[in-house]
Amino acid sequence: MEKKWWHDKVAYQIYPKSFLDTNGDGIGDLRGIISKLDYLKKLGIDIIWLSPIYKSPFVDQGYDIADYYAIAEEFGTMEEFDELLAEAKKRDMHIIMDLVINHCSDKHEWFQKALADPDGAFADYFYFRKGKNGNPPSNYRSYFGGNCWEPVPGSDKYYFHMFAKEQPDLNWENPKLREEIYRMINWWLDKGLAGFRIDAIINIKKDLAFPDMEPDGDDGLASCWRMVENVEGVDALLEDLKNHTFAKKDAFTVGEVFNIGVEDLPDFIGENGHFSTIFDFSAHMLSDGKHGWYDAPPISFDAWKKAITDSQMRVQNVGFEANIIENHDEPRGVSRFLPDYAQNADGAKMLGTVSVLLRGIPFIYQGQEIGMQNARWNSVDEFDDISTKDQYRMAREAGLSDAEALAVCSAMSRDNARTPMQWKDAPQAGFTSGTPWLKVNDNYPVINVEKEEGQPDSVLHYYRKLIALRKSGEYRELFTYGKFEPAYENADHVMAYYRILQGRRVLVAANFGTDTIELDWEVPAKKVLLSNKKRTNAENKLILEKCEVFVTECK
């Protein structure tokens, strides 16, 4: 396998709006990010992914871009962005941005021009279609609720949107549109960006016949992603995109890709795949409910373990996936994947170890490194997220009480990941001197960076050691290229695996149960490399206390 510059890197996702506010307007900003580069460097981060910072009306928190060439005023200026790039470079860190090109904002000038002339050239940057017998062109339900087709005012046409109606989908069949997008991507790469995280990218290929589908809800609509799942031809578009942009610059790309079959993996992340890597969402998709996430089924430990193990086995002969516990679209992993008794510092370290040492590129989401958890939500009015409001509405319509609907939103809302970063035990967790745009989690006096800096056994110190181990001279190759092999497969409550390279073998073992576990070694241990319980010697048996994780080199 040809080695790539990004194979052995550790990435960190910043959600700029919630990271650090330096001017008191309650919104995180670029200055805040610049001021924390040393913090991230010390954590061991190489690549920083910024969720969208482009000019936007923020209907979907910046995933609705009004100008691809401008920084949102809320976050700062282009000069500050250039400064961020330069400061990152000084520290040998790489910046990647979110690339949202399946859709733009309805405030983008292309869409404004399309609305002004629904038969003109700009209308063909989007999907403008006539209705059918007084109805929309087809019966698709958008991700955020309601029909995917929105009437174009003053015309007999509709435009297509898979997300909010303020996020019209871009027509990738139009070569002019593609050219505009490629020019924009190259402009950012020329500035010195290392690459992109690419949003909802599978959705760019549509079935141009937009056929009606069998309804899957009482509203008579069918989930729009089924159209995307059924259509062929996305590969050609993705290759075109890559060849006109990323490939020329050796850029790092990570695709937001759900649900591709194992037979498609080589096309996506093989040696010459469409992307450098794609996220592994297999554990997260265990929460997919029948109708959305308001009816998410609970996740069992065994299902979680199987999802991760299967995915590692599937991918390792093909390429690299990007491993996450959480991101800005998911609740906090500590609250979601750990049983109640493990939702504490030991559990956060255990979950972090199991994830960061997997084969693939680790992506740490802001606050994960201090063990941030879901917030407590007292009323639906406290949420900001467009998807949460929609799921709450659906839950109520399906007959859940207000308390029940609030409970599912509390467990699953994307806003759990979006509450402000907890820097210290000070008003608003030190995130802002003003009023934060989204409430601060009330556990900030206990979980915050400053406090954890002062505690040698904190989650933060542990994450530093964990990443340092992964990147250490001695183990870097093994954790980057070593084979993944499941270990102690039949032991209940145990998640364990080996990483193996050229005759060297390291074991990662964790006990997610409540009872101490004692097992005969499959392969005897030689040296403990990391432990969340101060274990320093490998015993003559494998012993794991409740919530214990350790990493050992094997004989």
Dist CA 36 CA 373 (whole Å): 21
Footprint (CB under 6 A) of ligand GLC, residues 248-287: 256
Residue 392 interacting partner from Ca ion, ligand GLC, none (CB closer than 5 to 8 Å by kind): none
Q: Are the beta carbons of 316 and 430 closer than 8 angstroms?
A: no
CB-nearer residue toward Ca ion: 76 or 360: 76
Closest CA to 538 of 548, 547, 551, 546: 551
**448 DSSP 8-state letter:** -
Q: Are the beta carbons of 167 and 105 closer than 8 angstroms?
A: yes
The number of CA neighbours under 13 Å toward the Cβ of 422 is 28
Distances (CA, A) of 406 to 219, 295, 301, 306, 409: 22, 12, 25, 30, 5
User: 460: which strand partners?
Assistant: none
Dist CA 447 CA 422 (whole Å): 7
CB-nearer residue toward Ca ion: 25 or 240: 25
Q: Which of 173, 329, 384, 425 binds ligand GLC (CB under 6 A)?
A: 329
Q: Which of 6, 49, 58, 63 binds ligand GLC (CB under 6 A)?
A: 63
Residue 46 interacting partner from ligand GLC, Ca ion, none (CB closer than 5 to 8 Å by kind): none
Footprint (CB under 6 A) of ligand GLC, residues 139-198: 163
Classify 146 as helix, strand or coil.
coil
Q: Are the beta carbons of 510 and 488 closer than 8 angstroms?
A: no
Dist CA 50 CA 196 (whole Å): 9
Phi (first) and psi of residue 554, to 5 degrees: -100, 160
CB-nearer residue toward ligand GLC: 110 or 163: 163
CB-nearer residue toward ligand GLC: 438 or 508: 438
Is there binding between residue 384 and ligand GLC (CB under 6 A)?
no
Residue 23 interacting partner from ligand GLC, Ca ion, none (CB closer than 5 to 8 Å by kind): Ca ion
State the residue for tokens 């998709």. Answer: 285
* Residues near Ca ion, by CB under 5 A: 21, 23, 25, 27, 29
CB-nearer residue toward ligand GLC: 199 or 548: 199
Q: Which two tokens stand for residue 94?
A: 């790489």
Q: Measured from the CB of residue 384, what is the shortest distance to ligand GLC in angstroms?
A: 12
Residue 280 interacting partner from Ca ion, ligand GLC, none (CB closer than 5 to 8 Å by kind): none
Q: Measured from the CB of residue 386, what is the shortest distance to ligand GLC in angstroms?
A: 8
**Active site residue ranges:** 199, 256
Q: Measured from the CB of residue 98, what is the shortest distance to ligand GLC in angstroms?
A: 8
Residue 100 interacting partner from ligand GLC, Ca ion, none (CB closer than 5 to 8 Å by kind): ligand GLC
Helix, strand, coil share (%) of the chain residues, nearest 5: 35, 20, 45
Q: Measured from the CB of residue 262, what is the shortest distance to ligand GLC in angstroms?
A: 23
Residue 63 interacting partner from Ca ion, ligand GLC, none (CB closer than 5 to 8 Å by kind): ligand GLC
CB-nearer residue toward ligand GLC: 60 or 346: 60
Distances (CA, A) of 162 to 94, 121, 170, 226, 524: 32, 22, 10, 11, 53
Positions in the binding site for ligand GLC (CB under 6 A): 60, 63, 100, 163, 199-200, 256, 328-329
